[in-house]
Structure 1
Amino acid sequence: MFYDFNIPFPSLPNQEDLERLDRILSRIQSIQNATVAFNVSTSDPFTSKAVEPVKRDQFERGGVTLLTRVTIEAENPKKNYQIVLSNAANQSVDILAVRPLTLDATKHACQNYDVDIISINCASKRVIPNHAAAQVATSRGIFFEICYAQTFHTKERALFFTNVKRLVEVTRGNNLIFSSEALRALDIRQPSDLRMLGLLFGLRRDQVEAAVGHNCERLLLKAETRKSTVSAAIRVDMIPSAETVAQTENDNKRKREEENVGSKKKKKGKKQ
């Protein structure tokens, strides 16, 4: 299974944008079965009004599962971006991410935001968290995203590789995923290419395999849990009362007695 949780979706797509997205999906479909997320970015607080839902019907195709994702661009950690579990808008997206634009915003995201992904722009300066903040994020089940297509669209390639290696160091190679952030079909890379790229970043082979596969599955499970969570309490079925349990036991006992009586009658009839 091929995973890519960051295919940018423009806020006001025109026909050219739609054709470009269609070519990207065709490229992904030619690789193997895939799970792909259309990503809508916004700097507004996370509300259902601020984020328009993506109409996925026109992009559906065999072998490709389409998800919706929202990425909040956070610059000021003191601003209320409403990235909390109690936000009703959580139910409207499959994956919720934050892209911190400053180091303080990154630290705040690691410690406080209820998101699935912290998407790091590795082509920017001073956005990589320190070891303590990164470990807090991983302990909370948050995943760090490395968008490899950034190397194709920036002149800061040396800075990109430096930041990625630093991110690998502070996370100890844990809870990392690779996404493309592809702006064109040629930006999409094969899983074998991503494995080679992961080794260049300093990941072990098992960590590379996790970044392109297992971590993505874990992320989807976390995202589903987030959607079914309200005010930090996981939704569970109601526990039956003692009276209900006693009534159920009595009913079962009565059924067993009736079955025993019926069985004895059958045996007596056979003897006669």
Structure 2
Amino acid sequence: MLYDLSIAWSPATAPDRLLQTLSLASSLGYATVALNHSLELPFPANPTSPFPPLPVSSSASSAGRRLPHVLHRATLPLTDPAASNYRLPALANVYDILAIRPLTEKAFQNACLTLDVPIISLDLTLHFPFYFRPKPCMAAVARGVRFEICYAQLLAADARGRANFIANVTSLVRATRGRGFIVSSEAKTALSLRGPSDVVNLLSVWGLASERGLEGFRSIPRSVVMNEGIKRNGFRGVINILEVAPRKDDGGAKVASSDAETKAKNQKRKNGDDDNGEPLSRRQAKKMKLAARSARSEKKQAS
């Protein structure tokens, strides 16, 4: 199953244009896609989902076209982490997936080390005023944060942007040792979509191994979708038992209660107590041992 967790969307996107993009994504083999809404600063105090209830939001066919399963995602530009962290829980309740796009070195390090976000998405056509150092990048991978490579940025960039894209991808692959990458399109039109094999072959030229590139289309984005769904539908992965079904007959309950009483009595006797919880004297304990020994001998003779 292939995933594309970033297809560009805005309120100005025409439904027919979006339907064409989703149809081509399905024909290329993508079973699940995410419509990406890039937010702008400042974030709204009470965010609501801007996605309209389009027929393309389901995995069923629409207008005779086969469509993938559609998720809703938001990408947040981040410059000052302290000014935006408190809005993340409110946004997480509205969107299926959240991604951070850090614009400064401080925001990038905070996203790698402390922020509770599943994806760090960068505009790799830009020249960043900082280096991708192995220590924060590997810390992000160890925490389960994934770096996103959007190949449509390369297709829409000029010569300088393409050079920056190649240099940034190479630096990220070196800093993370090729681990923890999600490969997405960030396609604004259907013409920007490409097949996964073509993208994997291109990334392998820049140092990302082919098996790592395939994981970026399959297992890694799948784990992000599953983990984000568990966060919203459960509490720390704990399953709560809401109700226990009662037994149909009382006989089983009586047998269970009698078994429990017998076990309790045996445990008391092992601890040197009688049935009332009082400690046994030495004489009583000796009598009980003799009675148990005689009972065993009688049983042997009877057999």
Residue equivalent to 1:190: 195
SS at match of 1:55: coil
Q: Which residue of 2 aligns with 1:13?
A: 12
Match in the other structure for 2:228:
223
1:26 partner letter: S
1: CA distance between counterparts of 2:30 and 2:187? 18
What corresponds to 1:30 in structure 2?
27
Change over 3 Å in CA distance of 1:251–1:32 after alignment to 2:
farther
Unaligned runs of 5+ in 2: 258-303
Q: 1: CA distance between counterparts of 2:164 and 2:237?
A: 41
The amino acid of 1:103's aligned partner reads: E
Amino acid at match of 2:146: F
Unaligned runs of 5+ in 1: 258-272
Distance (whole Å) between structure 1 residues aligned to residue 156 and residue 114 of structure 2:
31
The share of aligned pairs that are identical, in percent, is 30
Shift of residue 49, structure 1, vs aligned partner: 2.9
Say if 1:40 and 1:51, in contact at 8 Å, map to a contact too.
Answer: no
Kindly tell me: are residues 176 and 119 of structure 1, through their superposed partners in 2, closer, same or farther at Cα, counting changes over 3 Å?
Answer: same
Q: Deviations over 1:40-92 (max 9, x none)?
A: 111346667345331253324345100000111111233234255xx244232
Cα distance change on mapping 1:235 and 1:91 into 2, 3 Å:
farther
Instruction: Show the counterpart of 1:148.
Output: 151
Determine helix, strand or coil for the equivalent of 1:66.
strand
Determine which structure has greater relative contact order: mean sequence separation of CA pairs < 8 Å that are 6+ residues apart, divided by chain length.
1
- The 3 A distance-change label for structure 1 pair 172 and 226 is farther
Aligned partner of residue 198 in structure 1, secondary structure? helix
Give the structure 2 partner of residue 162 of structure 1. Answer: 167
Pair 34,239 (structure 1): closer, same or farther in 2 beyond 3 Å = closer
> Over residues 123-142 of structure 1, what are the superposed CA-to-partner deviations in whole Å (9 max), with x where a residue is unaligned?
11226531111112111111
Maintained 8 Å contact 1:27/1:185? yes
**SS of alignment partner, residue 145 of structure 1:** strand
Q: d(CA) in 2 for partners of 1:201 and 1:251?
A: 71
In structure 1, C-alpha distance between the alignment counterparts of 2:214 and 2:189, rounded to whole Å: 25
- SS state of the match for residue 68, structure 1? strand
Residues 1:64 and 2:63 aligned together: no
Give the whole-Å Cα distance in 1 for the aligned partners of 2:231 and 2:253.
Answer: 41
- Per-residue CA deviations over 1:189-213 (Å, capped at 9, x if unaligned) read 0111122122122122321221121
Task: Give the one of 119, 123, 143 matched to 2:121.
Answer: 119
For 1:235 and 1:88, how far apart are their aligned partners in 2? 22
1:77 aligns with 2:81: yes
Structure (1 or 2) with the larger CA radius of gyration: 2
TM-score, structure 1 length as denominator? 0.79
Question: 2:262 is matched with which residue?
Answer: none
| Kept after mapping to 2: 8 A contact 1:31/1:190 | yes
Residue 100 of structure 2 is matched in structure 1 by 98
- Encode CA deviations 1:5-29: one digit per residue, 9 max, x unaligned: 111111x325xx3222122112112
Contact 1:144 1:177 in 2 (8 A): yes
Alignment of 1:130 onto 2:133: yes
The letter of the residue matching 2:101 is: R
Aligned mates of 1:104, 1:139 — CA distance in 2: 19
**Aligned partner of 1:41: which letter?**
S
2:9·2:37 contact (CA, 8 Å) conserved in 1? yes
Q: What letter is aligned with 1:80?
A: S
2:23 partner letter:
S
Out of 133-142 and 120-129, give the one that drifted further. 120-129
